[in-house]
Amino acid sequence: MGQLYPPFPTVKGRRFIGGPRRLLAAVTGALALSTGLVAVGPPASAAALTQVTGFGSNPGNLSMYSYVPDGLPASAPLVIALHGCTQSASDYYAKSGWPKFADRYQFALVLPQTTGANNANSCFNWFDSNDSVRGRGEALSIKQMVDTAVARYGSDTSRVYITGLSAGAGMTANMLAAYPDVFAGGSIDSGLPAYCATSVSAAYTCMYSPPNKTPAQWGDQVRAAAPAGTTTWPRVAIWHGTSDTTVVPANATELRDQWTNTWGIGQTPSRTESLSGNTTLSEYDDASGNPAVQVYSISGMAHGLAVDPGSGPEQCGTAGTYYLDTICSSYHTARFWGLDGSGNGGETPGNLPAPTGLTVGTTTDTTVSLNWSAVPGAASYNVYRGGTKAGTTTTPSYTDTGLTAGTPYAYTVAAVDAAGSVGTPSSSVTATTTGSTPTCYTASNYQHTSAGRAYQSGGQTYAMGSGQAMGLYNTFVTHTLKQTAPGYYIVADTGC
């Protein structure tokens, strides 16, 4: 039959040496995060999965495939979906269920693909710093695919999302940390914390016995990977089976700690909910009361992607090796990201186009006025604040009330037809209410940075907004910071 793997597994030409036991582990363990080959089914619509060439310098030696629904409007969302080891873009396209929701919710879908030339088991190299940090290797190739898709399909740059399974999930976590300015949200399916490993040997530890770091330590890894001064983070969904022995469920806990800390919120759920497929959903809200982090724990599920074959509105995918018949993760993730047009689910998407010309009018300390161009055929309009419906109006204008002073709010609007079907949401605008209440915080430079009141660069700490120097980034130097406006702090050691 011939030899399936080379005598010494290689990652981009670098030999992995360690004898038969390490070879077996490389085939079945950390280097692999193996997720099985599957057959490719027919496309979901007249559109088809198509390879895109010439998408940039492509330092990571990846291939780009895309699925664009027929009649996709301009300013539609964009979803990047990363396959697992031994899989391909076509595998993931056929089995994950994402094309169904690309058709239903009208977004472009891009599926990057790696091969055995990069990794012996066709895994994304989530554990290799040459491929997983901002501006390098496979990570940069994926970013170039985003840029190409935005240019080709007119995608809304404020609604770009990324998801992945297993090794693809490990890369997804890294991409969310390295490019928070690119991705509005992500979904990590049977994956690991961002930058849990930077070598093959460390990957084994992360998979089978992840480091038990504090939330702040995990969050620091995200902040260190992101551009200096980053204050806006992606919304993250975490999916994991309780019987996963390939990437143990403890990774989901560490992922929760990492992303809740990054957001500056606690590790106690704001709410929990029981879903189908023996799934428990735990949500962690941001300061505005919207879910920033979701954890889906699927009782009894092993390693793989959660799918739920069928034609029902909440079903998707095809069961098979590492595609496990439990619950449609793609459906729930799409709703979490707001791809269904509401950000909160429960509405039937229609065919009305996205409203244009959304602008902010008068703002006060508790109100925001919005205006937009009327959409022919619209019976009413839904207004969304932070992805959650704030109200409905029959005219192309709306005043949102009961807001907090000195606070930024993101808005979108969608037209609703006479049958109640909700059309494509508009591009987002941000309005900031007037006024603010100065607040003072005394803490170490490390604590200020962890809380988002400061940032570090080159080992030095600087106040967020004002950029005032605060000294070394450590736990020994203490300052008082005064918040004078949202996201703006000044050093106020002499009095506050």
Task: Write out pLDDT tens, residues 77-88.
Answer: 999 999 999 999
72 within 8 A of 150, measured Cβ to Cβ: no
- Stretch among 19-33, 43-57, 289-303 having the lowest mean pLDDT: 19-33
CA 380 to each of CA 210, 345, 393, 397, 417: distance values in angstroms, whole numbers, following the listed order? 50, 18, 6, 11, 7
CA 208 to each of CA 26, 122, 141, 255, 278: distance values in angstroms, whole numbers, following the listed order? 14, 21, 29, 14, 24
261 within 8 A of 216, measured Cβ to Cβ: yes
User: What's the whole-number mean pLDDT along residues 40-44?
Assistant: 39
- Domains for the chain: give ranges and CATH numbers: 10-337 (3.40.50.1820), 359-432 (2.60.40.10), 439-491 (no CATH)
The confidence score (pLDDT) of residue 387 equals 65
The confidence score (pLDDT) of residue 15 equals 36
182 within 8 A of 160, measured Cβ to Cβ: yes
- Stretch among 91-105, 332-346, 429-443 having the lowest mean pLDDT: 332-346
The residue from 34, 63, 155, 166 that is catalytic is: 166
- Rounded CA separation 262/267 (Å): 11
Residue 176 has pLDDT above 90, yes or no: yes
Report for 169-173, 376-380, 399-403, 434-438: range of highest mean pLDDT: 169-173
**The token pair that represents 28 in the structure block:** 């079945």
Using DSSP's 3-state secondary structure scheme, residue 297 falls into strand
The confidence score (pLDDT) of residue 342 equals 53
Using DSSP's 3-state secondary structure scheme, residue 225 falls into helix
The confidence score (pLDDT) of residue 432 equals 86
Give the mean pLDDT of the chain: 86
Residue 30 has pLDDT above 80, yes or no: no
Percent of the chain with pLDDT over 90: 66
Active site (annotated) includes residue 436: no
User: What's the whole-number mean pLDDT along residues 166-176?
Assistant: 97
